[in-house]
Amino acid sequence: MSNIRHEPTASTGVRHLSPGQRIDAHRHDEHQIVHAGSGVVAVTTDAGTWFAPGTRALWIPAGTAHAHRAYGALDLRLVGLPATDNPLGLDTPTVLAVGPLLRELILAYTDDPRDDSPERRRLLAVLRDQLRASPRQPLRLPTPTDPRLAAVCALVHADPSDTRTLAALGAATGVGERTLSRLFRREFGMTFPQWRTQSRLYHALRMLADGTPVTTVAHRCGWSSASAFTDVFHRSLGYPPGAHDRRA
């Protein structure tokens, strides 16, 4: 990640991004919580891409170079915390579940970042408590470093409806299935089917944020039916894909 801008203080507040709009690579000396009040936000570092709709938030540790991209009309909510204040004890970007209470706390706290009242400080204290209790969610697309793995990942990303097996994808790129299977586990800590599900969910969230119908998303992302897509989406994100626009 080149041309990284340095911002000593992590901003707290609201930014409105149009579909496809980006915030270029930057880093700051404070931790940051990133939440999509509407739309879907993707945060990319050298290690990979983390993505989150309104039921998730992203923890970005201090000093981490990262860029943002909006899918759908993004109401980007940002909460900055001093580097000495790490309620999660995390030193890598992480996706966290956001329940109704935490969501309202983030929205309320970011509405007026200039407010320095005791009431708002108490709001932050409760927000931090809720963060500590939030389950971590595996919504991440790691960046492959091995060129053989990168070639296969590129094929899947280019066409999420591609249903070829790992063996067939390996044949298309000149790499054996066993080698690729080992690379997926070594670099990503997951199997090829697990990684492909993450990739498909990423593409699905992007399409839903743009208003694409659920059935169309299901087929474009490789699921055999809308019901199969709905089942995986609901289990992964906690709500059905048909409710995505109502959460914006």
pLDDT for 115 equals 87
133 vs 143: CA distance, rounded Å:
28
Co-location of 23 and 127 in the same domain? yes
Q: Which of 106, 137, 168 is the last residue of a domain?
A: 137
> Into how many domains does the chain fold?
2
Co-location of 61 and 175 in the same domain? no
Co-location of 11 and 103 in the same domain? yes
Q: Residue 151 sits in a domain of what CATH number?
A: 1.10.10.60
Co-location of 15 and 113 in the same domain? yes
Co-location of 93 and 175 in the same domain? no
pLDDT for 247 equals 47
Co-location of 114 and 148 in the same domain? no
* Residue 36 structural domain: 5-137
> Do 180 and 166 form a contact (C-beta atoms < 8 A)?
yes
Tokens 């790691």 locate to: 142
Q: Which of 137, 164, 199 is the last residue of a domain?
A: 137
Co-location of 43 and 159 in the same domain? no
Q: Residue 108 sits in a domain of what CATH number?
A: 2.60.120.810
pLDDT for 244 equals 65
pLDDT for 248 equals 44
**Mean pLDDT, contiguous 10-residue spans, the chain (248 residues):** 77 91 93 92 90 88 93 92 89 89 94 89 93 82 92 94 94 95 94 94 89 93 94 87 62
Q: How many CB atoms lie within 10 A of CB 119?
A: 7
Co-location of 79 and 153 in the same domain? no
Q: Which of 137, 158, 188 is the last residue of a domain?
A: 137
Co-location of 91 and 113 in the same domain? yes
pLDDT for 140 equals 80
Co-location of 36 and 119 in the same domain? yes
Co-location of 126 and 205 in the same domain? no
Co-location of 19 and 75 in the same domain? yes
pLDDT, mean over the chain = 90
pLDDT for 242 equals 80
